[in-house]
Amino acid sequence: MQSQCTWTCCQMLGCLSFKPSTLFAFSKHLRSTSSDRLWTRGCSLRVANYPSFMATLSTVSTEKDAVSSQNDSAQKPQPPLQVAKRLEKFKTTIFTQMSSLAIKHGAINLGQGFPNFDGPEFVKEAAIQAIKDGKNQYARGYGVPELNSTIASRFKKDTGLVVDPEKEITVTSGCTEAIAATILGLINPGDEVILFAPFYDSYEATLSMAGAKIRCITLRPPDFAVPINELKSAITENTRAILLNTPHNPTGKMFTREELNTIASLCIENDVLVFADEVYDKLAFEMEHISMASLPGMYERTVTMNSLGKTFSLTGWKIGWAIAPPHLTWGLRQAHAFLTFATSTPMQWAAATALNAPDSYYIELKRDYMAKKEILVEGLKAVGFKVFPSSGTYFVVVDHTPFGLDNDIAFCEYLIKEVGVVAIPTSVFYLNPEEGKNLIRFTFCKDEETLRTAVERMKEKLRRG
């Protein structure tokens, strides 16, 4: 009975191996048994017998037929999956899963946020030159001096803040590592950290690794405004930090000056830190990007995190950085030293060249993305989606319910297999998947021909429920 129920669930979800909380929320075929009871705790839904459940689920492969996988497993029993308790609710990231499915089904990938076009030639040439010049050994742990200085200059131009490149800037392996180093270096087990849902999935995973207690504030459509009264109620004497992302992934929301001022006042009043993820700061289309650190009284309690990949279409380089006053930089550098120690040396030299680009580069970048955004947004509206405003990033969130499927996972599976287009189900960005079951996320960081082809596929094959 147990294997039959689990296999039925896998058949319904195809090869989508989502984390157990999401599987439970949307797999109506799965029923409790004495050995695989499903239980809830707070807002997260988990599978109690995790290793055996996931071992069964893992027999469905994206690379070969499920039946042959089962036969292989029967011939050679596999040991149960092993993972530390702090990570047992997490699995392969949704971005990896969906990109694999895109390849398998020949679908156009409007899911994962990486461009299908290359970065600027002058930046690539700088990396090649750095390699030829022998800049190939370990860099200084917290960054090549030239890059640190360039980041400081760029930050001053953007925010008006003068920072010490030697004591207040740490170069990391992408913004994801900046997030990890900040959380692991400054958060103690039991500290409370406030997130705004939906959120980038690494936030929850890294906070879990740090032993933090997550308190979640949900941003709701259509404008995803901050519910200020909820935020005030969520702050307690144990609140250590608020993790803020603006422009916001996945919604495209940009926090308004009024919202940021209110958050800043609450942080100052309650002695709370802010970890500000600002990787999309140069992709602000309809509003001015405001850096939290630039608000009065906030630099001393803010870690600003950013990266090169989104702005220069070089996501594979993984060059990021964290900017913070010395008393906060100390902790994040301690964590960084034992996470990666140092980031790719030649790419750091090339990153310094990139950040010295003239303002015309950023103007052209924004103009190009606005044209791509218009193609996708107008196309999605014509297809029949309810499209929510996106003021920044290269993402658009839509309501899929006009097409009659029960939830975002079922819709995304249908979209891949029957239509040939990939989107991301947003329920994976919530502590409570139910809150995101009506929404999916598309990206427009693709060339215009790809966007038009995806829209045409949806116009031709999608039918309202």
CATH number at residue 176: 3.40.640.10
In which band, very low, low, confident or very high, does the pLDDT at 28 lie, cut at 50, 70 and 90? very low
92 and 139, same structural domain?
A: no
Does the pLDDT at position 270 exceed 50? yes
| CATH value at residue 370 | 3.90.1150.10
390 and 325, same structural domain?
A: no
- Of 65-69, 288-292, 315-319, 387-391, minimum mean pLDDT range: 65-69
Query: Which percentage of the chain shows pLDDT scores above 70?
Result: 84
Residue 52, domain member (yes or no)? no
Residue 281, domain member (yes or no)? yes
Residue 388, domain member (yes or no)? yes
- Tell me, what's the pLDDT at 102? 82
Residue 76, domain member (yes or no)? no
Q: Which amino acid is at 270?
A: N
321 and 367, same structural domain?
A: no
Does the pLDDT at position 275 exceed 90? yes
417 and 270, same structural domain?
A: no
In which band, very low, low, confident or very high, does the pLDDT at 121 lie, cut at 50, 70 and 90? very high
What are the tens digits of pLDDT across the range 85-102? 888 888 777 778 877 888
195 and 303, same structural domain?
A: yes
- Tell me, what's the pLDDT at 465? 67
334 and 241, same structural domain?
A: yes
- Of 84-93, 152-161, 345-354, minimum mean pLDDT range: 84-93
- Domain termination residue (choose one: 356, 379, 397): 356
In which band, very low, low, confident or very high, does the pLDDT at 131 lie, cut at 50, 70 and 90? very high
- Tell me, what's the pLDDT at 74? 58
448 and 312, same structural domain?
A: no
User: Model-level pTM?
Assistant: 0.83
What are the tens digits of pLDDT across the range 46-74? 333 323 323 332 333 333 333 344 455 55
Residue 20, domain member (yes or no)? no
396 and 250, same structural domain?
A: no
- Tell me, what's the pLDDT at 451? 98
pLDDT (average), residues 13-31:
40
- Domain termination residue (choose one: 356, 387, 402): 356
- Domain termination residue (choose one: 356, 373, 400): 356
280 and 195, same structural domain?
A: yes
CA–CA distances in Å: residue 216 to residues 401, 425, 445: 25, 19, 29
Residue 208, domain member (yes or no)? yes
340 and 293, same structural domain?
A: yes
In which band, very low, low, confident or very high, does the pLDDT at 23 lie, cut at 50, 70 and 90? very low
344 and 238, same structural domain?
A: yes
**Range with top average pLDDT, 11-20, 74-83, 109-118:** 109-118
Residue 22, domain member (yes or no)? no
**Range with top average pLDDT, 19-23, 42-46, 287-291:** 287-291
- Tell me, what's the pLDDT at 103? 86
- Tell me, what's the pLDDT at 440? 98
The domain tally of the chain equals: 2
Its domain, for residue 240, covers 121-356
> 3 versus 455: which is more confidently predicted?
455
Does the pLDDT at position 327 exceed 80? yes
Per-chain mean pLDDT for the chain: 86
Residue 418, domain member (yes or no)? yes
